[in-house]
Amino acid sequence: MDAKSLHILGICGTFMGGLALLARETGFKVTGSDENVYPPMSNLLKEQNIEVSQGYKKKDLPRADLYLIGNVISRGNEAVEYILDTKLPYASGPEWMLENILKNRRVVAVSGTHGKTSTTAMITWMLESAGLKPGFLIAGKPKDFSISARLGKDEFFVIEADEYDTAFFDKRAKFVHYRPEVLVINNLEFDHADIYSNLEEIQKQFHNLIRTMPSKGCLICPDDNKNIEQVLELGVWSEVNKFGADKKSLNYYEAITDDYSSIRFHLDNEFEEISWNLTGEYNVSNAMAALLVLNHLNFPLSSSAKALETFSGVSGRLDVLIDRKDLKLIDDFAHHPTAIRQTLKGLRSRYKENRIIALIEIRSNTMKSGLHDKNLIKATEEADLVFWKGSNRDQINKLIKQSPSSHYVIDSIGYFSEELRKSVKTDDVIIMMSNGNFGGLAGLLKSKL
């Protein structure tokens, strides 16, 4: 083998797929395997000439110098059992990232329950707009870049840092491996019920991450999140910069327009006004965190804020699929009641008189567990009609029974898309919310509407 070779198990996940691109760019020969090989990641890997095989049969496992095992892979997997039995070299993706990509970089890590992907993309775009070529790994498709990960050409590396576990042999959160100089914690709520039994376990992982930061580092977070405050009370050894939504904070933002499409940002007694392509207060909060990152790295507020005006966003985050005067169809990534509530609140601030139709897929492990059921109905208050899809019909029926009469079940994607086509009215705003592809509903609705 001319180049060091890697084989990645679970290569089609957003993190491992991005890691594959970085490894390839670094000079490694990369192959991979996955149970579910489908677009967009499969197309992206194919474009980069990375060979991907379906499934985990040991007979299909190629020779490699190192096997990287994704956190979706568990004991009992045929390929994993073969690797362990034959003592083949293996590692986790985050472990490999630290050793081969992050070790000598100035790492900016973006964490939190919501907004990680958008904030990571914002920071990367700001650095790019400043004339740099930062490295990055974003767990999504940033519209301002053709790929989700690249090595970059300068000292900065921006990484989306989630608290999911590392691998079956390393149950620490992935982000503990990243050793950030600058850390954003956007927010903190209970999530990942398949990994953590309570909020305290998640908070412990966040504090483990804070323990890895240098004293010259900087932690950026909102000033009104009690769950984050409880983490900080356990000890912080780096600078802390907080922000808020009112003038009591040293760093704060204020809306110029109701839908937050025009905003004024205040940082350290400076301020800048912008108008941009995004809306909603949650996006402005993400932007505030991103501005504070650039401020800590000594970039002027004026140029950083200006970069936000040309920021295009991330695919699957309030993606407008149909944009007619009489109809809007929007696709959004949502896997938690807070995200659903914020998305609908942002839409209502923009479309005050329109009928908003929310289509929600209960898909994440935490949502399917029922832990958030009591908050889901309240999260949809800004919608006029709500349609629910999920694998647990009893859960859906209970939600509908507890909700207003405007809540319904989606039994069949094909049947529902036809019925929705018949009932759509002029000026309707339809928003799809899922952390998956909603059974291909977006494509059906685009063709029918």
Boundaries of every domain in the chain? 5-92, 104-308, 319-448
Residue linked to tokens 């890895």:
212
- Inform me whether the pLDDT recorded for 29 exceeds 70: yes
196's CB contacts (< 8 A; 6+ apart) are: 190, 202
Q: Is the full-model pTM beyond 0.85?
A: yes
Top pLDDT among 439 and 152 is at 152
- Inform me whether the pLDDT recorded for 193 exceeds 90: no
- Closest-CA residue to 146 (of 67, 244, 40, 24): 40
- Inform me whether the pLDDT recorded for 201 exceeds 90: yes
Q: How many CB atoms lie within 10 A of CB 258?
A: 12
- Closest-CA residue to 158 (of 112, 106, 96, 207): 106
For residue 2, what pLDDT band results from cuts at 50, 70 and 90?
very low
Top pLDDT among 371 and 214 is at 214
pLDDT of residue 124: 98
Class of domain 319-448: alpha beta
For residue 48, what pLDDT band results from cuts at 50, 70 and 90?
confident
For residue 3, what pLDDT band results from cuts at 50, 70 and 90?
low
pLDDT of residue 192: 82
Written as one string, the DSSP assignment of 111-137 is ESSSSHHHHHHHHHHHHHHTT---EEE
Strands 29-34 and 5-9: parallel
For residue 336, what pLDDT band results from cuts at 50, 70 and 90?
confident
For residue 151, what pLDDT band results from cuts at 50, 70 and 90?
very high
Q: What is the mean pLDDT of residues 61-73?
A: 96
Structure tokens, 231 = 């983490």
pLDDT of residue 385: 94
SS3 content of the chain, % helix, strand, coil (to 5): 35, 25, 40
Helices (DSSP H) in 260-362: which residue ranges? 281-296, 301-308, 337-350
Q: What digits encode the pLDDT tens for the residues 365-408?
A: 778 777 788 888 889 999 999 999 988 888 888 888 888 779 99
- Closest-CA residue to 317 (of 447, 145, 139, 136): 139
pLDDT of residue 269: 87
Average pLDDT taken over every residue of the chain: 92
Q: What is the CATH number of domain 5-92?
A: 3.40.50.720
pLDDT of residue 37: 77
Measured in degrees and rounded to the nearest 5, phi and psi for residue 303 equal -75, -35
CATH superfamily membership of 104-308:
Mur-like, catalytic domain (3.40.1190.10)
- Inform me whether the pLDDT recorded for 221 exceeds 50: yes
In this predicted structure, which of 214-218, 271-275, 390-394 has the lowest mean pLDDT? 390-394
pLDDT of residue 231: 98
CA 126/CA 246 separation, integer angstroms? 24
Q: What digits encode the pLDDT tens for the residues 297-335?
A: 999 999 999 999 999 999 877 888 999 989 999 998 877
pLDDT of residue 180: 98
Q: What is the mean pLDDT of residues 174-180?
A: 98
pLDDT of residue 11: 95
Q: What digits encode the pLDDT tens for the residues 77-112?
A: 999 999 999 999 999 999 999 999 999 999 999 999
pLDDT of residue 1: 36
H helix and E strand count, the chain? 15, 23
CA 328/CA 428 separation, integer angstroms? 6
Q: What is the mean pLDDT of residues 230-251?
A: 96
